[in-house]
Chains A and B, each alone.
Chain A
Amino acid sequence: MAEAVAGSGIGASVRRKEDLRFITGRGRYTDDISMPGQVHAVFLRSPHARARIVSIDTAEAAAVPGVLAVLTGRDMAADGLGDLPCGWLVKQSDGSDMVAAPHPPLAHGVVNYVGEPYGLVVAEDLATAWRAAELVVAEFEERPAVVDPALAMESEAIHEGVARNLAYEWVLGDQSATETALAGAAHVTRLDLVNNRLIPNAMEPRAALGVHDPGTGEHVLYTTSQNPHLERLVLSAFVGVAPEHKLRVVAPDVGGGFGSKIPVYAEETAVLWAARRVGRPVKWKAERSESFLADAHGRDHVTHAELGLDEHGRFVALEVHTTANLGAYLSLFGSSVPTYLYGTLMAGQYKTPNIFVKVHGVYTNTAPVDAYRGAGRPEATYVVERIVEAAARELGRDPADLRRQNLIRPEDFPYETPVALVYDTGNYEASLDKALALIDYGGFPERKAEAARRGKRRGIGFACYIEACGLAPSKLAIQLGAGVGLYESGEIRVNPTGNVTVFTGSHSHGQGHETTFAQVVAERFGIGIDDVEVVHGDTGRVEFGLGTYGSRSLAVGGSALVRAADKVVEKGRRIAAHMLEADLADVEFADGRFTVRDSNQSLSFGEVAFAAYVPANYPEDLEPGLSEKAFYDPENFTFPAGTHIAEVEVDEETGVVELVDFVAVDDFGKVINPMIVHGQIHGGVAQGVGQALHERGLYDEYGQLQTGSYMDYCIPRADDLPDFRVDTTVTPCTHNPLGVKGCGEAGAIGAPAAVMNAVTDALGVADLPMPATAEKVWRALRG
C-alpha cells in the first residue's frame, strides 16, 4: 500500500488506535455488557406474512417458573407507547404527502411480515424464555400475502386506507422534455432490471439491554446503533418510552452496521419498556435467523429504463420507472432511499440533458426495507451503468469510449444536473484513465483468448459511478421532507495537562473514527495522536449527534471538529497573547506552539491549556477553561466518484462465475488515512460482489423467507474474492474545511454494475438478473 505521508498527520496510514482492544478480545459489544439482576427477552414473531391476530393466550407461558412477564403489542399500546415513525416524509407527484401506514413496535391486531414481533417473554434465563415462548398460543387468521412488488399495486390492500398498496408515487425531472428527447433520439436503448433484495448481515447481530433506575427515573439503553442520539430522539419524542432527559442511549462497540443499525427497531424499544415493567435490566440478542427475518433489508427494485442517444453517441435523455419494495412498513429512512437518494443520482457522471424518474414505493408483506450500504445510490448506478453499457453494445461502441464522450468535464463544474443536484467538483476522466491503465484494458482481448483456451469465457465490465454523500444542507433536506437536520456536532475538551478528549456525534462501527478523527485533531494542535481520545456512541457523554450513515462521518462530523478546533486555537491565542504580553494579531499558532510573530517568544499548546485551567496570569475578560464545540451544517452534498472495472471468467460447463480481477479508482477528495480508505473500498466491493454474484433475499409466494440462514444466503467468503487493486485520484471537495468527500459506500455502489457488465459481456446477453448464480448462468449459456 502506497504511503504518501509519514508520521501520524493527515495523509498518513496511521495504524488504528482502536485495534488493540479488538485484537485482544477486549472489545465491548452490547452482548458483552451484563447488569446485575439482568433477565432475558425472547420475542414472539409472526409465522405468517399476513394475518389477523385472533387471540393470544399467554397464561401457560406466564406460569412457567422463572418467567417474569409475557407482554404483547396490546400491552404496549395500552401503556401509551406510540408507533415507530418514518423519518422522511416524501411528497407525491400530485403534491400530497406519502401514505405512511401505522407501524407499532409490537404488532397488535394484524401482522404483516414473517418475523414481525408481536410480543415478548421475559425470563430469568434465556432457555426459560425460549421454552415459555413456545407455550404462547397465538391464533391467526391468514390472509393472502402480497410479496411481489411488481404486482403489489394490483393486489388487495395490506393496510387499511392505503389504496393500491402505494406509499407514494414520486417523480423527479422534466417528463415531457425527456419524452420529447427520447422520441427524437437517433437510438434508444431499453432495459428492464431487477435490483435484488439484500439482507445486510453485519457480523454482530443486533442486541439491546434496557435498564431502568426507579430511584432517578433514568433509562439506559445499550444497543447496536449507528446513531444513538437519533435513537434517543425517536424513542422519546415519537414512541414515548421515556423523556429525552431521562433516557441515555449507549451504542458501545458495534460490530458493523451497513445501514441496518440506523433504524429504531421494535426490539430495543420493547426491552427498555419491559425493563421498567419488570423492574430488572432486560437483555435481548438476535439469533442470526432473527436478523435475517427482522433486520431492515436493502434494495429490491424493479425498473424499466430508456436511454436516448443522438447520432454521435451523445446521451440526450434518460427515463426511469421504478417500483421500489418498501416492505410491510416504512422503516426510519425507508422512504428516502428509493427517492432522494436514488432519483437524484440518475445523471451519473454524464451530461445527459433530460432525465425523468418516476418511483412507485409499494408496501408488501415482507420485512421493511431501508438503507443498506449505498442506499439508493447503488440502485441508481446500476440503472445508469447497465444501460450505458447496453447502449455501447447495441451501437458497437467501445464502452469506455462511449462513457468518456459523455462525461462531465472538469471545466463544467459546478455542474447542475437535471435531477436537482449541483456537483461541486470532480475529474471523472482522470479516474477512468487510471482505471483503464491499471486493468490493462488494451490487453483484455489477449486475456479473453487465453481464457477461452481454458474453457472459460472472460468478460470485462465498467462502472463509472457517482454518489452523493453527507446529505445536506439541513434546511433543504427538511424542505424535502427530512424529519431531522443533517449537521453534526463536535466537541473538543483540552484537558489541563494538554491532552485532548474529542466528542463526536458520529459513530464508528468499523470505520476507524478513533484514529482518523484523532489524526485530524492531532495535526491541528501539533500534538501526538496518542494524546487525543475520541469519544462517541453515548448520549450521556456526547452532547448531540446524528450518527453515521451515507459516508458522512468525516465530511460532516470531521468538519465539525475542525470548526471546534479553530475555536480552541482562537481562545488559545488570546490566552497566549496575554501571557506573552503581545498583540493578539501577532500571535500565531502552528506546529503545537503559540508564537509571537517575528520574535522567539512562544508557548506550547500544553502550557496554554494549563493556564486556561489554572488562570493565574490570564485575560480578565476571558472565561477559564479550554473546551469548545461546533455544529457543522454542510452547504452541499459531497460527490465522490470513480471508475470500477471487473473481469470475470465463466466456466462454460458449470456456469460458475469467478471474479478474477477488480480495479477501483476513486476520487474521495483529500484522504486522511489511505490505509483505512483502502479498507473501506475492499469491504464495499466485497458487498457489491456479493450482490452481483451470491446474495438474494428471497420470499416465496406465501411470504416465507427462503434464504433465512447462512446455509442459503451466501455472503462472500475469502475464497470467493480476488485481491482488489485500488487507487485514488484527488479533487478536493470545495465546500468543507477538510476537502474530503466520504468513502464508505463507493465499493458497494460501483461493484454490482461493474461485475454484471462483465458477466453479461462474457455471456453475450443483454441482461441477467442478480445474483449471477451458477445455474442461472448455465441456462443463459445454453440460450
Chain B
Amino acid sequence: MYPFEYHRPRALEEARALFHQAEDGIYLAGGQTLIPTMKQRLAAPSDVVDLAGVPGLTGLAVEDGTLRVGALSRHAEVAAHPDVKRALPVLAHLASCIGDPQVRNRGTLGGSVANSDPAADYPAALVALGATVHTDSRSIAAEDYFKDLFETALEPGEIITRIDFPRPLRAAYRKFPHPASRYAVVGVLVAEFDGGLRVGITGAGPCAFRGTALEEALADGLDPAALDGVEVPDAGFNSDLFASAEYRAHLVKVMAKRAVQDLLVQPR
C-alpha cells in the first residue's frame, strides 16, 4: 500500500470536509474492495475517510411498502435480518451470495453501490426493484444512478446514506459466480410488481441494467419457456478469460429462466 492519512469523522459534514480538503480523498465503508485495491497498489489515495463513525448511515426499516436500508448495513446483516427476510427475502438471498462469509461480515451496501463494480450483486437488485439511492444531498433513481464501468451519478464527495427498495409481490435472484473471484459472471434478478415485471442484470455489461427484452417476453405471463426465443444481444458485454460476451448473453437467459422458475414457486 502507498501511505495515506486515515480519518474517522463523527458527522457527515466533517466527512465531506475531510474529503474535500484532501488532495485525493476517498471514502471507506466496509473496505472489502477498496483495501485489496490499495494493497495491490492500484489505488493511492492521499486520505481515507472512514464513514463507520458517522451517525445515520445504519439501520433497516420497513415503511409504506418500502425497505429502507442504511448505507453502512453489512451484507451479512442484510442477509440475516428478520425484517429483510420477511419484507424483501430476495435481497436477503442476494446479500448471502456476495463474496464469502468474511467479506459479508465487513462489506456494506453503500460501499458496493458507490463502487459500482460491473460484477457486483447489489446493482441487479437496485435496477430490478427500482430502488432509490439517497445521498447526503439528493435522491437518485437506480436507473439514473448506474452510468458505466465503475461510473455512477455520484458527484465527488457525495455520500450515499440510504437505499430504499420497493417491495415486489415476488422476486428471485440467480447468480452465476466466477469460480475464482466469486463475483457475478452474470446475475439476474426478476421481480414481479402489481404493475408488471422488472428484470435487473449485473455482471454482463459495464454496469447493471434493465433486461427490457426479457421483461417484454414475460409480459404475457410468467413462463420460463417464453424466454427461449428472446435475443440477448451481446454487444458491449464484458468478455474475459472465463466468459466471453456471447456466453454471458447466453447465461443471462439461463439465469433469468431459473429466476422465473424460482419466482413461480413462491406465493404472491
Contacts and interface: CB of A to CB of B under 8 A. Distances in A.
Interface of A: 127, 130-131, 289, 653-654, 694, 698, 706-707, 710-714, 720, 773-775, 778-779
Nearest to A127: B3
A773 B180 contact: no
B266 interface: no
B243 interface: yes
Contacts of A720: 179
B40 interface: yes
Interface of A is mostly: loop
B244 interface: yes
A63 B3 CA distance: 18
B147 interface: no
Contacts of A710: 180-181
B243 A775 contact: yes
Contacts of A127: 1, 3
Contacts of A714: 179-180
A712 B180 contact: yes
B241 interface: yes
A773 B251 CA distance: 14
B179 A654 contact: no
Among B1, B180, B243, B250, residue most surrounded by chain A Cβ atoms (within 10 Å): B180
Nearest to B40: A289
Contact of B181 (A130, A289, A712, A775): A712
Contacts of B250: 778
A712 B178 CA distance: 9
Contact of B241 (A130, A131, A653, A698): A698
B254 interface: yes
Contact of B242 (A289, A775, A779): A775
10 contacts: A131-B2, A653-B254, A707-B241, A712-B181, A773-B242, A774-B247, A775-B242, A775-B247, A778-B247, A778-B250
Interface residues of B, number: 17
A711 B240 CA distance: 12
Nearest to B251: A654
Contacts of B40: 289
Nearest to A712: B180
A130 B1 CA distance: 9
A713 B180 contact: yes
B254 A654 contact: yes
Contacts of A712: 180-181, 241-242
Contact of A654 (B2, B176, B181, B242): B176
Interface in B232-268: 241-244, 247, 250-251, 254
A651 B100 CA distance: 24
A355 B179 CA distance: 40
Given A694-B179, A712-B241, 7 more contacts: A130-B41, A654-B254, A694-B180, A698-B241, A774-B179, A774-B242, A779-B247
B85 to A, nearest CB: 22
Contacts of A775: 242-244, 247
Contacts of A654: 176, 251, 254
Nearest to B186: A654
Nearest to A771: B179
Nearest to B246: A775
Nearest to B3: A127
B131 to A, nearest CB: 28
Contacts of B243: 774-775
Decide if the interface of chain B is mainly helix, strand, loop or mixed.
loop
Contacts of B247: 774-775, 778-779
A714 B243 CA distance: 14
A130 B38 CA distance: 13
A713 B242 CA distance: 10
A654 B41 CA distance: 36
The 10 closest A-B pairs by CB, nearest first: A714-B180, A775-B247, A711-B181, A714-B179, A653-B254, A775-B243, A712-B180, A654-B254, A706-B241, A711-B180
A711 B36 CA distance: 11
A420 to B, nearest CB: 40
Contacts of B244: 775
Interface string B164-192: 00000000000010011100000000000
A229 B22 CA distance: 54
Nearest to A695: B180
A774 B251 CA distance: 11
A630 to B, nearest CB: 47
A711 B179 CA distance: 9
Nearest to B250: A778
Nearest to A693: B179
Nearest to A706: B241
A455 to B, nearest CB: 11
Nearest to A775: B247
Contacts of A773: 179, 242
Contacts of A774: 179, 242-243, 247
Nearest to B257: A653
A169 to B, nearest CB: 33
Contacts of B176: 654
A711 B40 CA distance: 12
Nearest to A778: B247
Nearest to B183: A711
Contacts of B2: 131
Contacts of A130: 41
A431 B208 CA distance: 53
Contacts of B3: 127
Question: In the complex, which of the residues B1, B40, B179 has the most CB atoms of chain A within 10 Å of its own CB atom?
Answer: B179
Contacts of A711: 180-181
Nearest to A711: B181
A600 to B, nearest CB: 64
A47 to B, nearest CB: 14
Nearest to B247: A775
A462 to B, nearest CB: 25
Pick the most buried of A653, A707, A713, A779: most chain B CB atoms within 10 A of its CB.
A653
Contacts of A694: 179-180
A662 B115 CA distance: 41
A244 B241 CA distance: 47
Contacts of B179: 694, 714, 720, 773-774
Contacts of B242: 712, 773-775
A655 to B, nearest CB: 8
A718 to B, nearest CB: 11
A602 B4 CA distance: 74
B104 to A, nearest CB: 15
Nearest to A707: B241
B190 to A, nearest CB: 16
A704 to B, nearest CB: 12
Most buried by A among B41, B242, B243: B242
A674 B20 CA distance: 64
A779 B250 CA distance: 11
A185 B2 CA distance: 67
A130 to B, nearest CB: 8
A653 B251 CA distance: 8
A720 B179 CA distance: 9
Contacts of B251: 654
A772 to B, nearest CB: 11
